Amino acid sequence: MSPWYTRNMPFFFLTFFFPPLALLLLVWRWDKFTTDRGIKLFFTVGMTLFIVFGLLPRWSLPIVLPIIFGLIVLKLILNGIKRKTG
């Protein structure tokens, strides 16, 4: 059974109110999202870009963007290590 946050409506509200958190959740728990991953990823990235570039002050971009992308890269590195070790 999939977790509650992978269903369409809870994930929509999570993405609408906390887009960066939803993006990190989607990337971090990619294997839990079995259906509509592409649509959810597209919507989450779009909302995150809207929040980061549209609503946050310009001085916060050098702080927020490296944190988001750093966590995504960390997850990809951990996935690569997990695949190599078995």
- pTM beyond 0.85: the answer is no
Instruction: Please give the chain's pLDDT, 86 residues, in tens.
Output: 678 888 888 889 999 998 888 888 888 888 888 778 888 888 888 898 888 888 888 888 888 888 888 888 888 898 888 888 86
Spatial separation of the C-alpha atoms in residues 46 and 23, rounded to whole Å: 10
Q: Is 33 left (phi over 0), alpha (psi -120 to 50) or beta?
A: beta
Q: What sign has the CA pseudo-torsion 9, 15, 21, 25?
A: positive
Which residue's entry shows tokens 């887009």? 19
Predicted local distance difference test score (pLDDT) of residue 68: 83
